[in-house]
């Protein structure tokens, strides 16, 4: 192509896509001052889209990672927000949608955060792909400070670099981060897995949508289940049992393996087990790729969305309904009517939470090192939490730990991470007899242990410690595993 031809092509591109050619830099100041003037959100990455994503996140209609990019997850979040607000769900920003989002715009969009020694420590140097190599590790933790803080503040790790160009993420450095509000809290009665939109919606007993998340829902080779099931148990920061005789085969691994816990594990930081054996909702190590990746039949959410949902489901009560393509939530629930109390509370507290520099942001369980593993489940006996814990091979379970204290704010608005919660003694739980699926196969150890401890508890927390590296063990085909 000659020089004049190249210039003509460039001129044509500038005429066709001026917004892309002259896109303003995305800075903390630009996000704070961004105003909506009508029309759809700009293409590509923009401060206005970042601001809209923060408001959607605070409203409980998650855009997934906040990155300022007008992509599929953001458009699906707008559509979910429109559905909950009784607006036409076309996934496009318009004056009516922006007006409905404004109650969640109070206070600062961005806040200061000073990186601590704990943030730069307890990192995992490398996460291998092979499951046997993972099983011989002690933790599948964060591999960088950016990844750790990105999950804490619901951001894509690359977006931290966008807001802090040239800034080294070292202890003592103050950086700019998103200021999300604290997690929503409600009792969820029904969950819908909408396969056509790759979204997960949770409703309260009054029929109001509480939260709505982007998700990876199965694949063509290993589709998610159909029909209606029930939440059976919840485990936080769980180990993962790989059994190729039950589910998929990973690489050349033919033996049962137990992978250590961590946010970069196959199920992330949360496992919400269903009454459908081996299926559940769980976290993911790759939150920015929810609409790109495929799963082995389970439903993947971002770790922070999965943790929020885990504290709202009711084991034995909350139903999970898989909607096939061609069936929408509106077909089941009708048009939106009213707003849940938890969403109303989130809107009323958005300004105060954000103004305090993100003081309502709780540190994720996945942001901390795994706590010491509780004692083994004793057959026919009780689960107890001894003062001194001996590492064991069986996944152990305690009842829900006290939630992390919210971060405090300095006079300058910077966040100070909360101190670690004081150790508590777990109550005694008498486990029921293990559940055996109709096909005669036994439930996997993790699900069996979690199910045993969920009697009378809303959330069960599995907190393994560092473990002895595992060697492959023979598979007898008896144990079931959780899909991912």
Q: Give catalytic residues, as residue numbers.
A: 282, 298
Dist. CA 481–CA 313, nearest whole Å = 22
SS (H, E, C) the chain: CCHHHHHHHHHHHHHHCHHHHCCCCCCHHHHHHCCCCCCCCCCCECHHHHHHHHHHHHHCECCCCECCECCHHHHHHHHHHHHHHCCCCCCCCCHHHHHHHHHHCCCCCEEEEECCHHHHCCCCCCCCCCHHHHHCCCCCCCCCHHHHHHHHCCECHHHHHHHCCCCCCCCCCEEEEECCCCCCCCCCCEEEEECCCCEEEEECCCCCEEEEEECEECCCCCCCCCEEEEEEEEEECCCEEECCCCCCCCCCCCCEEEECCCCCCCCCCEEEEECCCCCEEECCCCHHHCCCCCCCCCEECCHHHHHHHHCCCCCCCCEEEEECCCCCHHHHHCCCCCCCHHHHHHHHHHHHHHHCCCCCCCCCHHHCCCCCCCCCCCCCCCECCCCCCCCCCCCCCEECCCCCCCCEECCCCCEECCCCCCCCCCCCECCCCCCCCCCCCECCHHHHHHHHHCCCCCCEECCCCCCCCCCCECCCCCECCCCC
């Amino acid at each position: 192509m000659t020089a004049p031809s190249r210039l003509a092509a460039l001129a044509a591109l500038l005429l066709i896509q001026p917004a892309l050619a002259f896109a303003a830099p995305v800075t903390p100041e630009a996000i704070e001052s961004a105003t909506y003037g009508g029309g759809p959100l700009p293409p590509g990455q923009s401060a206005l889209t970042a601001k809209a994503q923060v408001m959607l996140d605070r409203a409980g209609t998650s855009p997934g990672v906040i990155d300022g990019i007008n992509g599929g997850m953001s458009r699906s979040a707008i559509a979910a927000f429109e559905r909950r607000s009784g607006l036409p769900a076309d996934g496009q920003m318009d004056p009516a949608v922006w007006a409905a989002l404004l109650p969640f715009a109070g206070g600062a969009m961005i806040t200061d955060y000073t990186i601590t020694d704990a943030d730069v420590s307890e990192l995992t140097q490398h996460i291998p792909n092979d499951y046997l190599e993972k099983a011989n590790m002690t933790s599948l933790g964060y591999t960088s400070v950016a990844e750790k803080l990105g999950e804490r503040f619901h951001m894509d790790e690359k977006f931290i670099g966008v807001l802090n160009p040239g800034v080294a993420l070292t202890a003592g450095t103050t950086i700019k981060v998103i200021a999300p509000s604290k997690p929503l809290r409600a009792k969820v009665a029904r969950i819908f897995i909408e396969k056509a939109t790759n979204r997960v919606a949770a409703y309260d007993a009054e029929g109001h949508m509480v939260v709505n998340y982007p998700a990876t829902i199965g694949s063509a080779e290993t589709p998610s289940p159909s029909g209606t099931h029930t939440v059976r148990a919840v485990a936080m920061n769980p180990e993962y049992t790989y059994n190729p005789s039950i589910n998929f085969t990973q690489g050349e691994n033919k033996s049962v393996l137990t992978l250590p816990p961590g946010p970069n594990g196959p199920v992330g930081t949360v496992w919400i087990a269903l009454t459908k054996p081996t299926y559940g909702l769980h976290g993911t190590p790759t939150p920015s790729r929810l609409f790109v990746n495929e799963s082995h039949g389970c439903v993947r959410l971002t770790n922070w969305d999965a943790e929020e949902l885990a504290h709202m489901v009711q084991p034995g009560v909350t139903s999970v309904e898989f909607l096939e393509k061609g069936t929408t939530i509106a077909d089941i629930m009708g048009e939106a009517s009213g707003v849940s109390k938890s969403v109303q509370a989130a809107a009323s507290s958005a300004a105060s939470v954000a103004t305090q520099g993100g003081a309502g942001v709780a540190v994720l369980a996945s942001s901390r090192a795994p706590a010491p593993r509780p004692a083994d489940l004793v057959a026919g006996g009780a689960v107890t939490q001894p003062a001194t814990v001996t590492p064991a091979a069986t996944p152990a379970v305690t009842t829900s730990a006290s939630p992390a204290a919210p971060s405090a704010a300095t006079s300058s608005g910077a966040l100070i991470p909360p101190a670690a919660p004081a150790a508590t003694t777990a109550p005694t739980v008498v486990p029921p007899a293990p559940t055996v699926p109709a096909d005669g196969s036994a439930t996997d150890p993790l699900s069996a242990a979690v199910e045993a401890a969920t009697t009378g508890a809303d959330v069960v927390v599995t907190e393994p410690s560092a473990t002895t590296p595992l060697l492959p063990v023979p598979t007898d085909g008896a144990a079931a595993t959780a899909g991912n």
